[in-house]
Amino acid sequence: MKIGFIGAGKVGLCFGLYLQQNHFTVTGYFSRSFQSAQTASMKTGTKSFDNINELVSNSDGIFITTNDDQIETACRQLADAVVTLKNKFVAHMSGALSSSALEIARKKGAVTFSLHPLQAFADVDKSVADLKSCYFGIEGQEQSEILEDILNQTGNPFLKLLPEQKTRYHIVACVVSNYLVALIDYGLEIFGTIGIDTEMGLQALMPMIRGTVENIGQLGTEKALTGPIARGDTQTIQKQMRIFGAEETEQASVYGFLGRLTLDLAMKDRLTDDRKIAQLKQILSKF
């Protein structure tokens, strides 16, 4: 199976390299700028195309790995470039969109699907290595055997989704990955107020973050929860709330909101004392 890419960014390059490692043939790259296509094709030892028609004609399947807003535009360009897409597949790798973004290609005879890696792509080498254990969210037409064949060959596990489930699925991916990054940045900001700079702060926090994530994987969220809310240490939480003063700043409301969320989780397993639960609810309701 020969696979081509439209959109030579991070995901296109990393997934192309990963497919090659798993014995697929990557035809090459077409991108908005020829320079990006050339960079990706050099890194994969494949061809850079300045003509979309040539890429499509030389490929059995196309992954559109542009940014989400450009997927439909790129798909239209692809569909307009050829008479038929029969016996080919066209896929995108967005978590936010369903395969309906590829409707125009489906009308021209292509099998269409979306294949979203539940992974954050920051560094190329690390991302390609991480792909080995990555889960994929898959969604598409009934003839998605092609898709399952690809994942069976790479050995990746997957979650099957319906088109209408994709937005909720993507909320989860954004919250647990992107918001986690923002949350750590929130902690570093508070460290900054006591003179601990970002570099030192991150170095100091990383072992705890890794340990927490491992505990979640091994024990599940309810049992992995530790700390003053899970223990019912009301005075500690009272003291922390006072640090924010009387004014409802953004920093204070994030603390209060996440505290209430943590209390809900603690009540599922760790914290059973009704008096303490009521006190914590009252303390955390300030912001």
Instruction: Return the closest-CA partner of residue 147 out of 96, 108, 89.
Output: 89
Using DSSP, state whether 225 is helix, strand or coil: coil
Task: Report yes or no: 15 and 63 within 8 Å, Cβ to Cβ.
Answer: yes
User: In Å, what is the CA distance from 165 to each residue of 50, 65, 84, 95, 213?
Assistant: 36, 21, 30, 10, 26
Part of the chain binding ligand NAP (CB under 6 A), chosen from 27-35, 158-166, 266-274, 279-287: 27-35
Using DSSP, state whether 144 is helix, strand or coil: coil
Instruction: Return the closest-CA partner of residue 26 out of 35, 9, 10, 14.
Output: 14
Could you say whether residue 65 binds ligand NAP (CB under 6 A)? Answer: yes
Could you say whether residue 100 binds ligand NAP (CB under 6 A)? Answer: no
Could you say whether residue 38 binds ligand NAP (CB under 6 A)? Answer: no
* Count, residues near ligand NAP per rule CB under 6 A: 27
Instruction: Return the closest-CA partner of residue 257 out of 278, 287, 227.
Output: 287
Part of the chain binding ligand NAP (CB under 6 A), chosen from 70-78, 139-147, 196-204, 248-256: 70-78
- Based on CB atoms, which residue is closest to ligand NAP, 119 or 165? 119
Q: Select from 74, 75, 104, 188 the one that contacts ligand NAP (CB under 6 A).
A: 74
Min separation Cβ 122 and ligand NAP, Å? 7
Q: Select from 3, 4, 5, 11 the one that contacts ligand NAP (CB under 6 A).
A: 11
Could you say whether residue 68 binds ligand NAP (CB under 6 A)? Answer: yes
Residue 281 CB neighbour total at 10 angstroms = 14
Min separation Cβ 101 and ligand NAP, Å? 10
Part of the chain binding ligand NAP (CB under 6 A), chosen from 119-127, 136-144, 222-230, 248-256: 119-127
Euclidean distance between CA atoms 119 and 283, whole angstroms: 37
Footprint of ligand NAP (CB under 6 A)? 6-12, 31-33, 36, 65-68, 70, 73-74, 92-95, 116-117, 119-121
